Amino acid sequence: AQSVTQLDSHVSVSEGTPVLLRCNYSSSYSPSLFWYVQHPNKGLQLLLKYTSAATLVKGINGFEAEFKKSETSFHLTKPSAHMSDAAEYFCVVVTSGTYKYIFGTGTRLKVLA
Amino acid sequence: DTEVTQTPKHLVMGMTNKKSLKCEQHMGHRAMYWYKQKAKKPPELMFVYSYEKLSINESVPSRFSPECPNSSLLNLHLHALQPEDSALYLCASSQDHRKETQYFGPGTRLLVL
């Protein structure tokens, strides 16, 4: 069975410093993985997705994630945080067969001025 | 254009009311989804429609009744809801049920009194 674990429920960074949001997955096959961002009282916006092409995936707004099979990780990074990055971030793995989304519990990113 | 629209943005209803949520997409997607999201939690899948037919019902109570009148439109009919049903209801769509990338609408914030 597929699962995903977001290792930090809250992350605080200063504006202009790097962002690292951690995600580990469990899957018996090559997974499809996504990162979504949700700003307060908004829907989910797709940041990026991994579907077995390049292991380094570039997304919108300067975010990127690296798929590491040996570590079963798909961590989200950004070189320099902006105040507008403050939001909830969800890592998602897709189940085989039913193609359902399995969401992580989310990481709330706080950006300090 | 990757836009999914939802109306209304906010809804307050009593436990004896009947109301409906509406979701629309014009991307030619043939799979549409309803999710429920409680505060500080990830979204939970409720229903999946594939080619206008209900393909997944995640054991949702019958007071929630989905409808897919055509490939662009998805409704969620609400009747005799409970206060614990208060949540953000998100609609999503994907190219088809086997195409994994889902695009989310902004949600309807529902309050049941």
pLDDT tens sequence across A10-51? 999 999 999 999 999 998 777 899 999 999 988 999 999 998
Residue A88 is predicted with a pLDDT of 98
pLDDT tens sequence across B54-105? 999 999 999 999 999 999 999 999 999 999 999 999 999 999 877 679 999 9
- Contacts of residue B62, defined as CB under 8 A and 6 or more positions apart, other chains included, come to none
Is residue A86 within a helix (H) or strand (E), and if so which, with residue range? none
Helix (H, G, I), strand (E, B) or coil at A84: helix
Q: What is the mean pLDDT of residues B1-15?
A: 91
Q: Is the pLDDT of residue A79 over 90?
A: yes
Chain B residues near residue A94 by CB distance under 8 angstroms: 100
Residue A99 is predicted with a pLDDT of 83
Q: Is A27 on the interface with B (CB under 8 A)?
A: no
Chain B residues near residue A43 by CB distance under 8 angstroms: 4, 6, 90, 104-107
> Hey, what amino acid is at A44?
L
